[in-house]
Amino acid sequence: MSEGNGMFLVHETHGNVLCCKCGISMQPNAANMCVRCLCSEIDITEGLQKQVRISYCPKCETYLQPPNTRVRADPESKELLTFCLKRLNLAKAKVTLVDAEFVWREEKSKRLEVKLRIQKEVLRGAVLERAYHVIYVKLYQMCSYCNRIQSNPDQWVASVQLRQHVSHRRTFLYLEQLIIKHDAANEAIRIKQLHNGIDFFFSNRSHGLKFVDFIGKFAPVKSRSDKELVSQDSKSNTYRYKYTFSVDISPICREDLICLPPRVAASHGNIGPLVICTKVTNSLMLMDPNTLRYCFLDADQYWKSPFDSLLSSRRLVKYIVLEQRPST
C-alpha cells in the first residue's frame, strides 16, 4: 500500500511460456522457441565463408585487395582487420556484424584467424546472435612490382648518392638509425655501401626525391640532380630516363672545433672565430667558448661559404680538476 494516498500498487509481472520444441519455461519471444532450440533449428552462419585465401607479398609486405590494389598492414592491426572483413561480404548475407577480433596464431602457420560475432533476424522477427571463426590462408606470392625487381635488380630509375668527405662514419651511423626508425628506405630496391658514402637505388623518381627531402631534414646537405636518356620511342613520343641525385653532407660534426671564415663570423655578430659545434640537424649550432654566445647556420648559409673543422671530437683530451683556487 502506498504511504502517500493509501492506494495499493500492483507490481508488473511477466508471464512465462513453454517452448514449442522442448517444453521448458522461458520468456516469450516472436518464435516461441528457446535459444537452444533456435540455434539447433536455424544456422545463421550458413552460406558464410569459413575459410578465405588471401595473397600476400613477403617482399613488400602487402596484401592483394582484388582486383589490383595492394594494402600494407601490420599484424593484428585495424587496417588488417578491415581488409579481412571486406573479403567476407557480410552485407550480401544480410547479417549484422557486432564484434570482430583476431585470435592469436603462430606466424609460421601462415594463417590468420578472426573471431566474429554476428546477428541475424530469423523467424517472425526474432534476432539470433552467434559467434564463429574465419580462417584466412596466406598465399605467399610476390606482386608484379617485386617480381620485376627480383628478376632484374639493376632495373633502377633513380639513385641517391650520399657522400660525406670525413675520416669517420659517425654521420652515416646516425642517419642509418633514423632511416630504420622512419622506414625511409622501404622503397629502395638496392643499397650499395662505398668508401665515402652510400648509394640508394629506387624504381621511381618520386621515391628518390622523397628520400632526398628526408635526409635534408636531419643534416645540412647540398644536392644536385642529373638525368640520362636510356631509351626513346619517336613514334609514341615516350622517353625513359635514369635520374641521379648527388647529396653532399656537411663535414661538420658535433663537438668539432671550427675556425669561422671572417665573412661568416662578421655576418653573425663577430662571433668567434674559434667556435665549437654543439648540435647538428638541418642547421649547425655553434658556440663561442669565450663568450658562450650561440649562432645557427642553415644549409644555405653553410654551403654559400663552406668551411672544414680544425679538430674533431677524437682529438679531445679529458681533464680532471683536482683543485680550484679562487681568483684574487
CA distance 102 to 247: 45
Q: How many CA atoms lie within 13 A of 31 on its CB side?
A: 17
Q: Measured in whole angstroms, how far is the alpha carbon of residue 58 from the centre of its chain?
A: 16
How many degrees, rounded to 5, is the angle at CA 19 between CA 18 and CA 22? Answer: 115
- Could you tell me the residue ranges of all domains in the chain? 45-140, 153-249, 257-315
Q: CA-CA distance, 288 to 3, in Å (whole number)?
A: 89
Instruction: Give all strands of the β-sheet with 127-140 in edge-to-edge order.
Output: 69-72, 62-65, 51-57, 127-140, 111-121, 96-103
Neighbour count for residue 148 (Cβ, 10 Å): 13
pLDDT tens, N- to C-terminus, the chain (328 residues): 445 566 666 566 667 888 777 878 877 777 777 777 777 777 777 788 889 999 999 888 889 988 888 888 888 899 999 999 888 888 777 888 889 999 998 888 889 999 999 888 777 667 778 888 999 999 998 887 777 677 666 678 899 999 998 888 888 999 999 998 998 888 888 888 888 899 999 888 999 999 999 999 999 999 999 999 888 888 888 888 899 999 999 999 988 999 999 999 999 888 888 999 999 999 999 999 888 899 999 999 999 999 998 888 877 788 888 888 887 6
C-alpha cell, 9:
500498487
Contact assessment for residue 313 and residue 255, using Cβ atoms and an 8 Å cutoff? yes
Strand duo 158-163 + 238-249: pairing = parallel
User: SS3 of 8, please?
Assistant: coil
Task: Give me 179's grid cell.
Answer: 632511416
